[in-house]
Structure 1
Amino acid sequence: MAKYCLVVLWLCFSAYALGESKNLPTIHVYHDSDYSTHKASAVAIKMGFLTALSEVDKQVQGFEIKLLSKDHRGNSNRSFLHFKRFLKDPSALFVLGGLHSPPYIKYRAFINKNEIPLLVPWAAGGPITRYDQGENWVYRLSVDDTKAGPKLVEFATARSCKKPHLFLERTPWGKSNYKSIGKAMNNEQPDVIWFDWGMKASSAKIHIREMLAKDSDCLLFVGNSIEGKQLISAMADYPNDQRLPIISHWGITGGDFFSKAKVDLASGIDLHFIQSCFSFQHRPMSDYAKKVWQRAKTLFPDEFAERDFLFAPTGFIHGYDLGKVSLAAMAQIKLTGDMERDRIAFKESLENLTTPVSGLIKTYKKPFSKWSSNDPDAHEALGLKDLCMAYFQSNGSTKVLVDNS
């Protein structure tokens, strides 16, 4: 009888506790990302961030943290609407960004003037984190174009490419890469062909012919997965001895690029792309990485049902590490529930983390500081030494190269 009573009491307490957790005040994190045309990147970022949150049971200081998925479908204006809605949400603390740079470049002034903390795990456009007209509220843990350009040129040089030809999307992201790549090449006006979103393989084939006519010996590509697939298809139509090695920004990894391009890639296309240096494919895997990997597989069994690797893995990696950094920043402040006040405290905390934060890429020792024109990388958690080149293995997993070899 006594045992029975204890069981009943335990069940009642559990139900009460569960009810209490459901009634916790909430902190909303808006995930502004492309869940439509580049779904792989959005899902990977979400998985990484939620894996980090799961380590604290999605709770901090009596608040439940909820990630709200907001699909902008690659449209800057729709992204802008998400930021407007964020400002009307009394529970919104910060925005977690997505793959596309144009929304955050186009509406950078609005984001900063309205004091919206934006944490960027993917978009690489150089200007995103370098707002010089007041307080800077944008922080990035990702590839930064001011470093990506030099890395792409460095790899091209290591591969004996003496006359690279740039193939860039006609967006603010493409233009920021044109500047950084040109600077790295000591050439303010390198050979370039611009393309628009929705480019077809037939157009790409004509552009490749133009590059060959100029005796280009490699192609530096800045674009996303949709146009990247068209480029690969076009290159595969050329004889092997005419194909140009493709050295790409990492935008191609954000969608279903590999599944659509794998047949052409298997024909011998020489493709490498930039990534941050951590990979779950590295062996031996550290104990820390093993724990994160197992936690992710437990949380998202459907994502691993048919394979033991992730598509768009850096989305997961950066999302996880940003999750850890944001949790550390929240832990340093007293959350009040007054989000305008808490956002200011959160920003100050991000710039003044006192305890190192363990992540997958590295241990972050004060990853951010107060931004100024004299310290343009103050809101960049990763540096040039954190960037590597990579390629797709035959099963679609990503092999990260160390020292370009």
Structure 2
Amino acid sequence: MIQVIKLFCLVAFITQNALATEKMLKIYHDSDYSSHDQAAISIYQGFTTALAEVNHSIQGYQIKVIKKDHRGNSKRSLRNMQQFLKDPQGLLILGGLHSPPYIQNRQFINENSILLLVPWAAGSPITRYPDGKNWVFRLSIDDSKAGYRLAQFALDEKACKQPHLLLEETGWGKGNLITLNDAIKTRLGIAPDHTWFTWGTRFHQAKEVVKEIGELDTDCIIFVGNAIEGEQFVKAMADLPVESRLPIISHWGITGGDFHEKIPHEIRSKIDLNFIQTCFSFLPEPQNALSKKVFESTKILFPDAINEPRDIQAQTGFAHGYDIGKILIQALNQINIKGPMDKVRSELRDKLENLDKPIEGLVRTYLQPFTKWQATKPDAHEALGLDDICMGYYQKDNSIRLHSDIVEK
């Protein structure tokens, strides 16, 4: 009899755990946890902080975030997506810093109904799939607008008369070339000169490039690239004679890795370096009740990593991760998440286009972050706009501050 009771208890225990395992939703965080880990980690921290507000649970389903390192490689990102499709508990993919994986794999993403939330990658084509239902939603800077803010800062704040574009030779860089050409040509009457560089550019190559740009009577550089190559070009510029150094107005890719550690204040102070950001920062200190609450929660969740605001290494990634997490939570609460996962994904996608209650986030309060996508409404899957884009700079302690005159626009 005792053996029968033990067997019954064992079966009940296994059944209970099996049911608990079934009631789970998995979110794959497809990001570069290798070369640009600070962006990936900050997105994860912000997104996790939002989930913690509902105890990582919706309608009795536990929500689990799985880190998937694509190392900046589009093929590896594709493999992550293929693995996701085989997971019966896979709800959606949370994107990362790099645009190329989502530009190159855009057709695969949409043809396979992969729900993708993008809290960083800025490439314009990512959210603008023209051939059917669009499954990609972004809460981040959109390069169809970023170029205008970069150009405005270069021409107005830095009084550049002949800016030169220095762009990585990827889909991201090529998209920015179009926007920047348009923005600058509208103001100056001519398109600016531009130079391409590839991933893996070394210091001696970067130095030759900045020397050649300087010989063209250029008075500032608009840079579109990430932290690894940004490090080489900034070091190269700082190594030039004082009279030959040019201001660098950069896209935000440089803030996604360990740029500020590889290029310390001693080097940064030798040049005029500014970069794009969204208009939120925990610095100089949390500014309102929500940001104070969020920061205190984050300190509890990540006690070994975060004690003060500057410990959040990529604050834009954190803020976007948090805000898109809040939007996701509201959408999930408004649908029935029981049933086949493809049905749940489809209902969630539709709900994201039809949210009608205000959602308070760090960057802004979202009244209706997304609408039904169509070619005549190219911004339908963009939660942020030009007014949400500011400019920032590194302080001596490596923290990022926003230019207050632009924040208060």
The answer to whether the 8 Å contact 1:45/1:316 transfers is: yes
Deviations 1:33-84 (A, max 9, x none): 0000100000000000000000000000010000010000111000000111
| Equivalent in the alignment of 1:211 | 213
The answer to whether the 8 Å contact 1:233/1:264 transfers is: no
Deviates more, 1:207-216 or 1:182-191: 182-191
Q: Once the 2 structures are TM-superposed, how far is the Cα of residue 104 of structure 1 from its aligned partner?
A: 0.3
Describe the SS at the equivalent of 2:249: strand
Q: Once the 2 structures are TM-superposed, how far is the Cα of residue 402 of structure 1 from its aligned partner?
A: 3.1
Supply the RMSD in Å over aligned alpha carbons.
Answer: 1.8
Q: Distance in 2 between matches of 1:182 and 1:62?
A: 51
Q: Once the 2 structures are TM-superposed, how far is the Cα of residue 338 of structure 1 from its aligned partner?
A: 1.3
Q: Distance in 2 between matches of 1:21 and 1:216?
A: 65
Describe the SS at the equivalent of 1:311: coil
2:318 to 312, 316, 319: 316
Describe the SS at the equivalent of 1:32: strand
Q: Evaluate the alpha carbon distance shift between residue 146 and residue 307 of structure 1 in structure 2; reply closer, same or farther with a 3 A threshold.
A: closer
| Equivalent in the alignment of 1:362 | 364
| Equivalent in the alignment of 2:327 | 325
1:77 to 61, 68, 75: 75
1:65-104 to 2 correspondences below 5 Å: 65-104=63-102
| Equivalent in the alignment of 1:3 | none
Q: Evaluate the alpha carbon distance shift between residue 361 and residue 305 of structure 1 in structure 2; reply closer, same or farther with a 3 A threshold.
A: closer
1:135-284 to 2 correspondences below 5 Å: 135-158=133-156, 159-186=158-185, 189-283=191-285
Q: Distance in 1 between matches of 2:279 and 2:38?
A: 19
Q: Distance in 2 between matches of 1:305 and 1:197?
A: 34
Q: Distance in 1 between matches of 2:22 and 2:179?
A: 47
Q: Evaluate the alpha carbon distance shift between residue 99 and residue 356 of structure 1 in structure 2; reply closer, same or farther with a 3 A threshold.
A: same
1:377-388 to 2 correspondences below 5 Å: 377-388=379-390
Q: Normalising to structure 1: TM-score of the pair?
A: 0.93
Q: Distance in 1 between matches of 2:181 and 2:59?
A: 48
| Equivalent in the alignment of 2:115 | 117
**Aligned residue pairs, count:** 389
The answer to whether the 8 Å contact 2:354/2:368 transfers is: yes
Describe the SS at the equivalent of 2:160: coil
Q: Once the 2 structures are TM-superposed, how far is the Cα of residue 404 of structure 1 from its aligned partner?
A: 3.6
2:35 to 34, 37, 43: 37
Q: Once the 2 structures are TM-superposed, how far is the Cα of residue 201 of structure 1 from its aligned partner?
A: 1.4
Describe the SS at the equivalent of 2:175: helix
Q: Evaluate the alpha carbon distance shift between residue 288 and residue 20 of structure 1 in structure 2; reply closer, same or farther with a 3 A threshold.
A: farther
Opposite residue 201 of structure 1, the aligned amino acid is: F
Describe the SS at the equivalent of 1:197: coil
Q: Once the 2 structures are TM-superposed, how far is the Cα of residue 366 of structure 1 from its aligned partner?
A: 0.7
| Equivalent in the alignment of 1:351 | 353
Q: Which runs of 4+ in 1 moved over 4 A?
A: 18-24, 305-308
Q: Once the 2 structures are TM-superposed, how far is the Cα of residue 98 of structure 1 from its aligned partner?
A: 0.3
Opposite residue 27 of structure 1, the aligned amino acid is: L
Describe the SS at the equivalent of 1:390: strand
The alignment-based identity, stated in percent, is 51
| Equivalent in the alignment of 1:374 | 376
Q: Distance in 1 between matches of 2:365 and 2:18?
A: 35
The answer to whether the 8 Å contact 1:31/1:97 transfers is: yes
Q: Once the 2 structures are TM-superposed, how far is the Cα of residue 19 of structure 1 from its aligned partner?
A: 7.5
Deviates more, 1:189-198 or 1:111-120: 189-198
Opposite residue 181 of structure 1, the aligned amino acid is: L
Q: Evaluate the alpha carbon distance shift between residue 202 and residue 236 of structure 1 in structure 2; reply closer, same or farther with a 3 A threshold.
A: same
The answer to whether the 8 Å contact 1:179/1:188 transfers is: no
Q: Distance in 1 between matches of 2:42 and 2:316?
A: 8
Deviations 1:149-183 (A, max 9, x none): 00000000111011000000010000000001001
Unmatched 5+ stretches in structure 1: 1-14
Opposite residue 320 of structure 1, the aligned amino acid is: Y
The answer to whether the 8 Å contact 2:32/2:40 transfers is: yes
The answer to whether the 8 Å contact 1:91/1:337 transfers is: no
Q: Distance in 1 between matches of 2:264 and 2:182?
A: 33
Q: Normalising to structure 2: TM-score of the pair?
A: 0.92
Q: Once the 2 structures are TM-superposed, how far is the Cα of residue 303 of structure 1 from its aligned partner?
A: 1.1
Describe the SS at the equivalent of 2:378: coil
Q: Evaluate the alpha carbon distance shift between residue 306 and residue 390 of structure 1 in structure 2; reply closer, same or farther with a 3 A threshold.
A: closer
Deviates more, 1:28-37 or 1:200-209: 200-209
